[in-house]
Amino acid sequence: MADLERARGLLARARSVAVLTGAGISAESGIPSFRGAGGLWKNFRAEDLATPQAFARNPPLVWEWYAWRRELIANAAPNPAHYALVRIEAAKPQFTLITQNVDGLHDLAGSRQILKLHGDIWRLRCILCGTHWDDRRAPLPQVPPLCACGGLARPGVVWFGESLPEGIMQQAEHAAAAADVMLVVGTSALVYPAAGLIPYAKRAGATVMEFNLETTAFSAMADFSFQGPAGELLPRLLI
């Protein structure tokens, strides 16, 4: 594949690489998408549970859903696409992995320079004292979980209607603007502000390489648009 050969050469010469990943890379590890898993969960839409209002109304219900999701994720393992990104990070002076995923598979694979736009499902935050902590137990011993202060904990993820973690988009934009190559992996490019990083990088002069199962709104903008499983395509960039 001539395009893959050219992309491989450009990536090899790049000193600065930014990566944007979405649900597609996790789907290859068996994790259903946010809106997947059979659609409705106990007659609730995910969009109706992932809100501050839903948590305020019924914390046990929201936590029951997140506990179920955590158990699904706990059974998953990183796939070859995750490990390919670890190898790219190790080879580059500047590397930033920007992910919309909350599953922690990039961490498990060994990625280090990660910006988690939508938080981390394994991180908890007390709504009373504000303490943050990690808890990878699945199932959790208590649902809803409580903080040591006695306050109710919430998942450390960004819900609909909430702002992204302070300063994280500025860091992501800086990485995109500085990139020689930007890899876009397994994202539909429909969720903003994350999707806006793609034209941002392009305008700053980056070579944009997209890896997805199907075309997206930004495929025409990408310098390379590869269709297929990222777990098969990304390792071939490194051969």
Active-site residue numbers? 118
Question: Does residue 37 have a pLDDT over 60?
Answer: no
d(CA 100, CA 21): 6
Do the domain assignments include residue 37?
Answer: no
On whether both 191 and 231 belong to a single domain, the answer is: yes
What is the reported pLDDT for 92? 98
What is the reported pLDDT for 207? 98
Question: Does residue 98 have a pLDDT over 60?
Answer: yes
On whether both 174 and 68 belong to a single domain, the answer is: no
What is the reported pLDDT for 34? 61
Model confidence, pTM: 0.94
Q: What is the pLDDT of residues 39-72, one digit of tens each?
A: 567 778 887 899 999 999 999 999 999 999 999 9
On whether both 130 and 88 belong to a single domain, the answer is: no
The boundaries of the domain holding residue 216 are 2-31+78-118+164-236
On whether both 143 and 90 belong to a single domain, the answer is: no
**How many domains, in total, are found in the chain?**
2
On whether both 231 and 143 belong to a single domain, the answer is: no
Q: What is the mean pLDDT of residues 169-176?
A: 98
On whether both 65 and 142 belong to a single domain, the answer is: yes
